[in-house]
Amino acid sequence: MNSKRPVNLDLSTIQFPLPALTSIAHRITGVILFIGLIFAFWALSTSLSSPTGFVAVSDALAGNFLAKLIAWGLLSALAFHFVAGIKHLLMDMDIGVTLEGGHKKAQITVVVSAVLIILAGVWVW
C-alpha cells in the first residue's frame, strides 16, 4: 500500500485557491443560466405574444421585487460566466498559464465581475 496517499478527503476542510473557486463558480453560473432560460423564454414569449403580454411582462419587471431579483440574478450569472469564460479562453490559448498568472487572472475575473454585477443591479433597480 502506498503511504503517500491523501489522508484527508473531507472537502469542507480543504482550502481551495482562488483560481479553483472561480472555475467552480463558472460551472455553477452555467447551470444557473441554463435553468434561468425558463424564465427568460417565458418572458420573451409572453412579451412578444401580444401588446397585453408585453405590458404584463413590463409591469412585472417594473414593480415585482421577485421578478427584479430573478432578472438581476440572471444578469449577474451572465456577467460572471462571461468574464470567467474569457479567462478560460485565455488559458486555452496558453496565456498566463503559470501559477502566478492563474491567480492574477482569477483576481481580475472577480473584480471585473463584481463591477458588472453592481452595474446590472443599478440597471435593474
Q: Binding site annotation covers 81?
A: yes
Q: Which residues contact 43 (CB under 8 A, 6 or more apart)?
A: 57, 60, 61
Classify the C-alpha dihedral 102-105-111-115 as positive or negative: negative
C-alpha cell at 42: 417565458
> Where do we find the cell 486555452?
92
Comparing CA positions, the residue from 37, 119, 117, 118 lying closest to residue 81 is 117
- Indicate the residue type of 51: P
Cα(54)–Cα(113) distance, integer angstroms: 30
Binding-site residues, in ranges, read: 81
Q: List residues forming the annotated binding site for heme.
A: 81
